[in-house]
Structure 1
Amino acid sequence: MNKVIILLAFVFSVGGYAQNFTGKATYKTHRKMDFKIDDGKGAPNSDMQKKLQAQLMKQFQKTYTLNFNKSESTYKQNEELSSPQVQTGGMQIQIMGSGGGTDIVYKNITDKRYVNKTEISGKRFLIKDKLEDYGWETTGETKNIGNYTCYKATRKRDEERVSFSMTDGEKEEKKETVTVETVAWYTPQIPISNGPEQFWGLPGLILEVQDGNLTIVCSEIVLNPSEKVEIEEPKKGKKVTQEEFDKIMDDHSKEMMERFRNKRKSNEGNSFSIEIRG
């Protein structure tokens, strides 16, 4: 009987902790880019490719803060930057899908929904949709991240990848279906079903994610900070579903590629080709 009483007291204690606490988690991200550049004659341009690779990697190294309580969270880039552009050898590349540091991802775990405030070319959108059921497969594998014991979970999905190649302003688009594995490390020591970006659905806060070419790692956690944790659902922007926004992004990408093609045709210069995948 004594053992049962002690166990129940522990469960109630954890439950009360989960109901009342708030926190802030800092995440650092980086993404690998798979691309190649040649001089238009089939010869690789290794110097330009190295410079572009270094600049792109720097652009994708960002820091975010997840503010959270038991059922809600906001995820936002720490520094507000202008929409990143990369220039190499007279070539300019606009990195698509960046809201210039103003994006906010709000998640409501209880209602299983999210709101993503983002911008495209100065137009503000409010993506409102249901949280995806990731169908995680948990394992017994563990590792330490900081002072927290984390457990491994995985999932796989089929994803359509689009690759673009551009030679002297002429665009070629290729599509292929690839299998992407996501690996998440979560800690039951922080008993909330949340994590960075739109990741969630595990019995503990997700501290690390490897999702294809994207890596997200938690570098700091502050529980019950002295300053009040503000969690506000974004309200302003054109309301769209995720499917509708994906179509808008696809059309915008094609428009940008067309502008680039016309610009290359109107300018004189050495021919080159660039292909970006992923």
Structure 2
Amino acid sequence: IETINNDQNGSSMGAFSINIGGEYKALINETSKKEFRQEVVLDKQNFIVVTPYKDYEWKITDIEDTILGHKVKKAIGNDKGKQIAAWFAPDIKVDAGPNQVNGLPGLILKTVSETGGKFGSIMTYEADKITLNPKKMSKTKPMKGEEITQEDFKKLQDESRQKMRESFSIGVDKK
């Protein structure tokens, strides 16, 4: 469980909140650099986690559908041995998608992927709205924090989790 919030009836009195693994904030797709940048707060420290694009080795199928009025094509890829399916709109020339999925010749409007682990869960993301050529672009706040790789951030997360386990452990007196 990444976030627990035991807020009772919307009251801030006596609320308990804990973020395990960090509080994830803005995610920016830097297409020119072929990387994602995400602001994360872990143990009251700000980080900018930089993750390079993945090479999914996509196989584009003949399967077509329509999502939000756009013709999409299905592609199948592989991420560390796990299957991922993505539906992309070739008419929208943006190499991006949900959950940091990339590498197709069009905007990815839907992904279905295996999460792995004991339960073999399936995770689905699908766009519910697209705004092309907005009249007013929303301003992105500058990210703050130390730039760090995804691998180094995972090490910090592991250390943080271990410290938390130790702080909750009271031990057992053997007599």
Question: TM-score scaled to structure 2, two decimals?
Answer: 0.75
SS in 2 for 1:183: strand
- Provide the rounded CA distance (Å) in 2 between the counterparts of 1:115 and 1:208: 21
2:53 to 103, 127, 131: 131
Give 1:258 shift. Answer: 3.2
Gaps of 5+ in 2: 7-15, 115-121
Give 1:138 shift. Answer: 1.3
1:191 to 89, 93, 110: 93
Give 1:263 shift. Answer: 5.3
Q: Which amino acid aligns with 1:84?
A: T
- Provide the rounded CA distance (Å) in 2 between the counterparts of 1:151 and 1:109: 21
Higher helix share: 1
Q: Does the C-alpha gap of structure 1 residues 265 and 141 become closer, same or farther in structure 2, counting only changes over 3 Å?
A: farther
SS in 1 for 2:76: strand
Aligned position for 1:112: 34
Give 1:194 shift. Answer: 1.3
Aligned position for 2:84: 182
The answer to whether residue 174 in structure 2 is matched with residue 255 in structure 1 is no
- Provide the rounded CA distance (Å) in 2 between the counterparts of 1:258 and 1:199: 36
Give 1:93 shift. Answer: 9.3
Q: Could you tell me whether the CA contact under 8 Å between 1:118 and 1:125 is conserved in 2?
A: yes
Give 1:218 shift. Answer: 0.3
- Provide the rounded CA distance (Å) in 2 between the counterparts of 1:185 and 1:120: 33
SS in 2 for 1:126: strand
Aligned position for 1:168: none
- Provide the rounded CA distance (Å) in 2 between the counterparts of 1:202 and 1:252: 36
The correspondence of residues 24-35 of structure 1 with structure 2, limited to 5 A, is: none
Aligned position for 1:162: none
Give 1:231 shift. Answer: 4.8
Q: Could you tell me whether the CA contact under 8 Å between 1:129 and 1:241 is conserved in 2?
A: yes
Aligned position for 1:39: none
2:136 to 185, 202, 227: 227
Give 1:128 shift. Answer: 2.4
Aligned position for 1:85: 4
Q: Could you tell me whether the CA contact under 8 Å between 2:65 and 2:71 is conserved in 1?
A: yes
The correspondence of residues 20-59 of structure 1 with structure 2, limited to 5 A, is: none
- Which of the pair has more CA radius of gyration? 1
Give 1:236 shift. Answer: 1.5
SS in 1 for 2:128: strand
How many positions carry a matched residue from both structures? 157
- Provide the rounded CA distance (Å) in 2 between the counterparts of 1:264 and 1:215: 41
SS in 1 for 2:131: strand
Q: Could you tell me whether the CA contact under 8 Å between 2:43 and 2:160 is conserved in 1?
A: no
| Greater RCO (CA < 8 Å, at least 6 residues apart) | 1
SS in 1 for 2:29: strand
Give 1:238 shift. Answer: 1.7
RMSD of Structure 2 on Structure 1 (CA): 2.7
Aligned position for 1:211: 113
Instruction: Report percent identity of matched pairs.
Output: 26
Aligned position for 2:153: 245
- Provide the rounded CA distance (Å) in 1 between the counterparts of 2:19 and 2:66: 34
Give 1:188 shift. Answer: 0.9
The answer to whether residue 63 in structure 2 is matched with residue 141 in structure 1 is yes
- Provide the rounded CA distance (Å) in 1 between the counterparts of 2:139 and 2:5: 34
Q: Does the C-alpha gap of structure 1 residues 97 and 143 become closer, same or farther in structure 2, counting only changes over 3 Å?
A: farther
Q: Could you tell me whether the CA contact under 8 Å between 2:22 and 2:43 is conserved in 1?
A: no
Q: Which amino acid aligns with 1:120?
A: L
- Provide the rounded CA distance (Å) in 2 between the counterparts of 1:196 and 1:259: 36
Q: Does the C-alpha gap of structure 1 residues 96 and 184 become closer, same or farther in structure 2, counting only changes over 3 Å?
A: farther
Q: Could you tell me whether the CA contact under 8 Å between 1:118 and 1:126 is conserved in 2?
A: yes
